[in-house]
Structure 1
Amino acid sequence: MITLILDSLKSFAFSKKFTFLEEKKVPRTKGEETYFIMSPIAAHIKIFDEAMKNNRKSSETFFTKQMSFYSNKLDGVGENPLTNPMEMGFSLFFLNQNNPEYCVRQSIEFLKFLGLKKENLYFRVDGGSEFNKIFGTDEELKNENIFQWDSLEKFHLGNQRPQGFYAYPYYRHLNGIVPIGSIAYIKLKDKYYFDVLFFIERLALILENKYSMCDLEEVHPMKTIISKRSFIINSERFLLLFRAILILIKDGLYEVAYSGSGFYFKKLCREIAFLLDGNEIDRLFSLELLEVFENQMLHYGYEIDFQEFERKFEVTLNYINKASRIIYRVMSKELSKATIETMKETEDKLKSLGIHLHWIALKKSKYPNIKDVVIEIVHRKSLRSISLGGNEQDFVNIKKLLSERK
């Protein structure tokens, strides 16, 4: 399905005379604004900078595909069906435009080209923007499906750049809705600059009529392999975090560090090490994982030099396996002698040793002496995390979900 979606979207963009922009590697080079690409526009920010600076008279349109890594959004991965630290985005850029309605209309046509229906679209829009007026020109969009927010975050491209406005599209799916991307614009000297982003795997989720990212046609083979290893604490979390590690290795990041991008890579590796629960990724397990990963990446449009990739992967794997043994040993030692009365002291000691609180919460049930201890883990309640409910039978009140909390 991913290949079909990508081919369809490229066909649409080329038919509309959009110019193709090459994808960038997810880890950014030293000296850039962030450690990782976190959106397609971040990979091509210079095009926006030049267009806004020069305020060209002629309009321009571009499209691109881009993997993005969200290093600060690991909580909720494996616990709700849509949280994913590594997302593939497909973006349309409209620069120096006079007609914002045209930009939005083309974006929605983009979705219709895939077979999605307008009547199933919902939007959260910035109340201070022109989106209400723009959407109002489309008679097929239902007014009751557009929700105005006065406190929506601004479209912000970084320091010393003008701010703009967001509209977030959602699509009715199963028992709730799926947030499928964003439509954002900056208005400068009566010219509009649009960044339209759609998440490919979320579109595939809708078209395949699936509930979880891990059940997608291209992803499920890896889930099957991981699920056979009963020692893994949370197989879906393991899958999505491990896949993120493999994509970063593909793009050249394979060594942990105490600063920079290597620091966040180390966090990912240690999460996997904890989930292994003292076990290792042996030769058979790693070969199975790499085989399905290679096939998945081919469907996503990437070819990998596997001789070089395996060399880098071996470095990362050695770190993960060693960390798994250490984390298990440290946690077992401290939690086995803890009591309800001393648990706070134990938590503090383990945290000082690099053991996260959510790891302790997941492991405490294995120790009778502390299984009744209550450990409160604070998760961000993003709309994405609850837009398909707590399970497939949990009906979502869409109007309540998308209405602004006063």
Structure 2
Amino acid sequence: MIRELFIGMGKERNYDVLPEVSLVRENQDTYYIGSAVMAHMHLFEKKQYTPTSYVAAQRIFSSKRLQEIGKYPLSTSFEVMLSMFRFGDTDGREALRFAIDFVCKAINGDPDKLIFLAPYELGLRNDVLSLGISSNRVISWNQSLETSLGNGRPTGYYVKMFYPYRHGIIPIGSIGFIESNGTLSVDSAFFMERLSFVREGLPTFYQDQFFAPLTNIVNNHEFFADLSFYEKNLWINHIRSIVALLVDGATFNSKGAGHALKKMVRQLAVTIAGKKLPHELGEKLILAANQCLFHLGYLNKIEYQKLSDTLIIKIDTASNQILKEKKAFIKALRSNQNNMSMEELQKWDSERGLKLEWLEKFAMQEGVSLSCPQKIKKHQFRNECYSFSETDRIKDPIQFIKESENKKMKGVLIKHG
């Protein structure tokens, strides 16, 4: 629905539709597509631009988020990014108008509830205000964060869009503007899964059609009964991401995407250390993941049997290996009279691949609390703006955004709006 709406609106406004490309890249500076602009960077590398515009729906993958998966409602490694690209504009109004029209239709939202973080640079704050947005819903700074398309490429500025929803705030879209030779190039990002669960009035995307087939299995199958809420989310996310990568040509032997596949499998294996994934359940998970991809708009022809056999073997092998490492760690812990130095714990990470949080979990199962230093929590807006718990309520969305941006920039910006 939302994908069709976005592409349809683009066609109505004479945007060309760009083809979607595979997640997996070969002989490139990155191993997989992490944003729609990465798939179409050639458009931004021209020296001169004529007025033209494009829309794209692009599946993306980010291995940087693997440690956040399951812990935060808006974190997922695989998702669909909807993007418009414009070239040759003299100001930001047309791009912003498209963004506002699309977002409000996509979520059945009220434009008067939108909040903008808009820079003074390139006249973007004035462009937002000229579209009828109230000034008290536009946050600006005397100095703004620059954005970049990569090393050696031109920089620009983002206009960010937010929408208050339930007990928090949803980052609903970003529109980047880059000036070159007196005209603007526009990049943008809208996340389909995020828009969809807001449109449907659901608490998170786990209940939406893009995750629900896996959510139903993981939350109701006895094999996962002893898993924590976070661990169940991990399975829902990772199985979907693994299948998406595999159907796009990734293998467990490839160095880039293959490394991400192995990391996800190992994260899953820790949750079931020593348990064997039933073959029938493995096949059901593959089928459910493919249903999720189908709802996202992908008609994948996959060999279920071969895929499930491969994945089950990988998970079972990792599960047995984790169990052996767990037993070795517990034995070492007991021989050290339930006390280990931070240096010793770090060796288990560097030499055996057991993350500190896993070691803490194994120790707690033995009734032992490790003396680990308090983790320094890095503030990330996406993880803080919307919680699984509805008691974590953001009372003043605009103030929350201002404080979050100040934390991001360590207080160096001066508020002007």
TM-score normalised per structure 2 = 0.88
Q: 1:336 to 1:121 in 2, by over 3 A?
A: farther
Aligned partner of 2:112 in structure 1 is: 119
Aligned-partner SS, 1:401: helix
> 1:238 Cα deviation (Å)?
1.8
Q: Distance in 1 between matches of 2:316 and 2:142?
A: 48
Aligned-partner SS, 2:55: strand
Aligned-partner SS, 1:171: strand
1:318-374 deviation line (CA, Å, top 9, x unaligned) = 222101111122113313541443253552332120111122233332112x13645
Q: 1:172 to 1:273 in 2, by over 3 A?
A: same
**5+ residue gaps in structure 2?**
412-417
Aligned partner of 1:291 in structure 2 is: 287
Aligned partner of 1:329 in structure 2 is: 324
Contact 1:123 1:146 in 2 (8 A): yes
> 1:151 Cα deviation (Å)?
6.3
Aligned length: 394
Matched, 1:187 2:179: yes
Q: Distance in 1 between matches of 2:99 and 2:278?
A: 46
Contact 1:38 1:68 in 2 (8 A): yes
Contact 2:283 2:308 in 1 (8 A): no
Aligned with residue 379 of structure 2, among 365, 377, 381:
381
Aligned partner of 1:12 in structure 2 is: 9
Aligned partner of 2:414 in structure 1 is: none
1:244-264 deviation line (CA, Å, top 9, x unaligned) = 11110111112145x433222
Q: Distance in 1 between matches of 2:82 and 2:205?
A: 17
Aligned with residue 221 of structure 1, among 213, 220, 224:
213
Contact 1:69 1:85 in 2 (8 A): yes
1:31-73 deviation line (CA, Å, top 9, x unaligned) = x1211111101100112212xx1333xx111111111111112
Aligned-partner SS, 2:163: strand
Matched, 1:252 2:249: yes
Moved more, 164-173 or 208-217: 208-217
Aligned partner of 2:101 in structure 1 is: 109
Aligned-partner SS, 2:299: coil
Contact 1:231 1:279 in 2 (8 A): no
**1:128-139 maps to which residues of 2 (within 5 A)?**
128-139=121-132
1:197-239 deviation line (CA, Å, top 9, x unaligned) = 1100110121111222212133122112112222445101221
CA RMSD of aligned residues (A): 2.1
**1:231-270 maps to which residues of 2 (within 5 A)?**
231-233=226-228, 234-256=231-253, 259-270=255-266
Aligned with residue 144 of structure 1, among 136, 141, 162:
136
| Amino acid aligned to 2:67 | D
Which aligned runs of 4 or more in structure 1 are off by greater than 6 angstroms? none
1:153-172 deviation line (CA, Å, top 9, x unaligned) = 42211222211111211111
Q: Distance in 2 between matches of 1:149 and 1:69?
A: 32
Aligned partner of 1:280 in structure 2 is: 276
Aligned partner of 1:391 in structure 2 is: 389
Q: Distance in 2 between matches of 1:175 and 1:263?
A: 37
Aligned partner of 2:355 in structure 1 is: 356
Q: Distance in 2 between matches of 1:335 and 1:127?
A: 57
| Amino acid aligned to 2:296 | Y
> 1:20 Cα deviation (Å)?
0.7
Aligned partner of 1:44 in structure 2 is: 40
**1:48-127 maps to which residues of 2 (within 5 A)?**
48-50=44-46, 53-56=47-50, 59-114=51-106, 115-127=108-120
Q: 1:372 to 1:349 in 2, by over 3 A?
A: closer
Contact 2:23 2:60 in 1 (8 A): yes
Aligned-partner SS, 2:59: strand
**5+ residue gaps in structure 1?**
none
Q: Distance in 2 between matches of 1:345 and 1:153?
A: 38
Aligned-partner SS, 2:147: coil
> 1:277 Cα deviation (Å)?
2.5
Q: 1:169 to 1:237 in 2, by over 3 A?
A: same
Aligned-partner SS, 2:330: helix
Aligned partner of 2:302 in structure 1 is: 306
Moved more, 34-43 or 103-112: 103-112
Q: Distance in 2 between matches of 1:265 and 1:377?
A: 26
Contact 1:65 1:89 in 2 (8 A): yes
Aligned partner of 2:25 in structure 1 is: 28
| Amino acid aligned to 1:54 | Q
Q: 1:254 to 1:376 in 2, by over 3 A?
A: farther
Q: Distance in 2 between matches of 1:74 and 1:398?
A: 27
Q: 1:335 to 1:97 in 2, by over 3 A?
A: same
Q: Distance in 2 between matches of 1:70 and 1:329?
A: 30
| Amino acid aligned to 2:126 | K
Q: 1:151 to 1:386 in 2, by over 3 A?
A: farther
Q: 1:11 to 1:159 in 2, by over 3 A?
A: same
